[in-house]
Amino acid sequence: MTPSPPMSRQQRRQAEREKAKRLAELKRAAPPPTQQALAGQAEVLLDILEQDRDGRRAGATADAAHAGYERSMKAHFRADGLACRNGCAHCCHAYVSVSAPEALLAARAVRALPKKRRAAVIERVQATDTRTRGLPPEDRKGAGATPCPLLDPDTDACTVYAARPLSCRAELSTDAEACARMVQGLDAERLSPVLALRLKILYSSALALAAKGVGLRAGVLEFNAALRIALEGSDTEARWLAGEDLFAPAAVHDAARADIDRALSR
């Protein structure tokens, strides 16, 4: 196979302009959950991770994925019939899976809290992870149900709502009573909008593809453990970006992975 001739300086500049234009369009896009959309959004996130002079690009990648999810939901989802309301926190007792960039973004939001509030949240993160580390989803219901450490115990509101993971954003329901029964470990079927789950899969997959594209760890993590690890030092983002496998202790184990795969298939 004959190799392509090298591009001239003018051709390279033209190619760079075309790429910049394409990325700008993709960053404004609000796609439905399709394979084509996955490829486009993965390209956007990969472009962020490739900016190796930006030490905050891991969190920036998660933030971009969250923004894309919200644009797509706004464009394609009608919230009529949702039971979700301020102060309704049943889903904040569930097993949550995240990516490393999302854990790092949430940790950044925790560090930005006022000192006293930050200290209380970090203490809850440590205590919650100690209680839930290694527990599969089925053991996190009923008597084992533990509130998310980011849930404010006085207001039942998320302390870092703008930085919440995709799993939390997609946790929508048309039946709050069913959600309550599920948390209690009772039989119930929560009627969740399929589109929200599909968009969560789209943007979670785009995050994983982007991370793999630059050789970074892209496994599925349990949120409590991943957040504790992300908060353990001021340099965790830099260390992850340098290729260190910081989040190995938070990797989702086989049983939980199977539960998540079944949920995604549904």
In a domain, 44, yes or no: yes
Does any domain span residue 49? yes
Per-residue pLDDT band for 4 (boundaries 50, 70, 90) equals low
Structural domain range at position 152: 15-265
In a domain, residue 5? The reply is no
Q: Looking at residue 189, what is its pLDDT? A: 76
Torsion of CA 253, 175, 63, 73, to 10 degrees: 120
Does 42 map to a domain?
yes
Q: Is residue 9 domain-resident? A: no
- Whether residue 230 lies inside any domain: the answer is yes
Phi and psi (nearest 5°) for 257? Answer: -60, -40
Cα 206 from Cα 166, distance rounded (Å): 12
In this structure, of 14-28, 85-99, 176-190, the range with the lowest mean pLDDT score is 176-190
At 176, the amino acid letter reads A
Q: Give the whole-angstrom CA distance, residue 84 versus residue 90.
A: 10
Determine the residue type at 257: R
- pLDDT digit string (tens) for 99-108? 999 999 999 9
Confidence of residue 255 (pLDDT cuts 50, 70, 90): very low
Question: Which range, of 38-52, 144-158, 172-186, averages the lowest pLDDT?
Answer: 172-186
- Strand, coil or helix: what is 28? helix
In a domain, 256, yes or no: yes
Contact between 97 and 219 under an 8 Å Cβ cutoff? The reply is no
* Number of domain units in the chain: 1
More confident position, 80 or 162:
162
Residue 208 lies in a domain: yes
User: In whole angstroms, what is the distance from residue 105 CA to residue 100 CA?
Assistant: 9
- Which pLDDT band, with edges at 50, 70 and 90, does 2 fall under? low
**pLDDT digit string (tens) for 74-133?**
999 988 889 998 888 999 998 999 999 999 999 999 999 999 999 999 999 999 999 999
> How do residues 67-76 score in pLDDT, each as one tens digit?
999 999 999 9
* Location of structure tokens 């979670």: 204
pLDDT at 264 (0 to 100):
45
Question: Which pLDDT tens digit goes with each residue over 217-250?
Answer: 888 999 999 999 999 988 999 999 999 999 999 9
Name the residue among 83, 88, 98, 101 with its Cα closest to residue 46: 101
